[in-house]
Amino acid sequence: MAIQALSTRPARGAALMAQTFGIPIPPPAELRMEDYRANSLNQPPRFRDALRTGVVLLGTGVILPTVQAARITATLGFDWAFIDAEHTPMSPDLMTDLIKTINYYSEGATAAVVRVPTHSHEWMTWALDAGAAAIILPHTETAEQARKAVSNARFGPIGDRSFPPFSQVYGFTDGTPDNKPLLEVYNDNAAIIMQIESDLGAKNAEAIAAVQGIDGIMVGTVDLRLSMRLPMSFGGPEPEFIAAVDAIETAAKRNNLSLIAFGMGPMLEAKARKGYTGLMIAADMLALISGQTAGLTAGRNLMKALREEEKEEKERSTNGVVAQGL
């Protein structure tokens, strides 16, 4: 008996336990990232094409350096997952495992985006070889840095990335659309994003954004402020800070590059209205903190209310006994 292909993905979750624990089920994504997956989940998805749609892609941070947490994150329906290898100590093996966990456990519905720790070619190629949808290069300050990054991340004739002989299981995970050369799939699918987060980077934003082969600019406002000797914050009213952010955003838009940033809480609407199309709106560590403290707060408030109720009941009983005695 032939098995008919499903036109839509069957439901993977049930409502009963989610309702029991008060877990909200998000509405469907505006853009189905499954439609941008490669032939194999071992390869990078067509993240460059997804960015070019202009749809706001909502991401979450994979901050906890554990595959167990990434397995949960991968199933929740975010468009992309931000693996922070810059500020989370991890080995290349763990980074690779996190990328593959996101790819496979999400079944291609969530793209793995890695902020590598440095501009050295090793971390870039390890991430891309593992199937990362994009790499983010932190602390980009000059056009020369950006050109070097593109060269390290792209195979020839575009760049000088070395062929990875052991990244695929030949005959099983290296299939491509219309037998397109595998290295072209890597070049065409994975995005390269420069993070500008310093005063010098802001001054060079136009030159950086004009480098061929870049797909997006991530704006790092906290480090930008620190480099300008301003108080630590995600934003601020200082004219020089506002001008620096505007220079970065203008350069990205002028060169048709996607704008990426953190977009938690009230930052989300403001950045979406400014044209950002890649926004990290949550993080596993923050969810762990907020979820547990919310439960603890609710529990302690309930215990306090019950104690007050019990105290009032005792007072009513005592007053009743006294009244009867009179």
Q: For the chain, how big is the Rg over CA atoms in Å?
A: 25
Q: Which are the contacts of 6, defined by CB distance < 8 A and separation ≥ 6?
A: none
- pLDDT of 17 > 60? The answer is yes
pLDDT band at 319 (very low <50, low <70, confident <90, very high): confident
Instruction: Choose between 325 and 249: higher pLDDT.
Output: 249
Find the length of the chain.
326
- pLDDT at residue 122, as a whole number: 96
- pLDDT of 19 > 70? The answer is yes
- pLDDT at residue 324, as a whole number: 67
- pLDDT of 165 > 80? The answer is yes
Amino acid letter, residue 87: H
- pLDDT at residue 11, as a whole number: 64
Mean pLDDT, range 294-298, rounded to an integer: 94
Range picked from 6-15, 253-262, 308-317 for highest mean pLDDT = 253-262
What does pLDDT average to over the chain? 92
Question: Of 89, 91, 90, 155, which is closest to residue 128 (Cα–Cα)?
Answer: 155
Q: Is the peptide bond before 92 cis (omega within 30 degrees of 0)?
A: no
pLDDT band at 16 (very low <50, low <70, confident <90, very high): confident
- pLDDT at residue 3, as a whole number: 38
Q: Which residues are catalytic?
A: 87
Concatenate the DSSP letters of all residues of 203-227 into one string.
Answer: HTHHHHHTSTT--EEEE-HHHHHHH
- pLDDT at residue 213, as a whole number: 96
Q: What burial class does residue 238 get, using C-beta atoms within 10 Å of its C-beta: 0-12 exposed, 13-18 middle, 19+ buried?
A: middle
pTM of the model: 0.89
- pLDDT at residue 6, as a whole number: 40
Instruction: Choose between 79 and 26: higher pLDDT.
Output: 79
Cβ atoms 33, 50 nearer than 8 A: yes
What CA–CA distance (Å, rounded) separates 119 from 123? 8
Taking only the tens place, the pLDDT of each residue in 184-240 is: 999 999 999 999 999 999 999 999 999 999 999 999 999 999 999 999 999 999 999
- pLDDT at residue 151, as a whole number: 97
- pLDDT at residue 9, as a whole number: 57
- pLDDT of 323 > 70? The answer is no
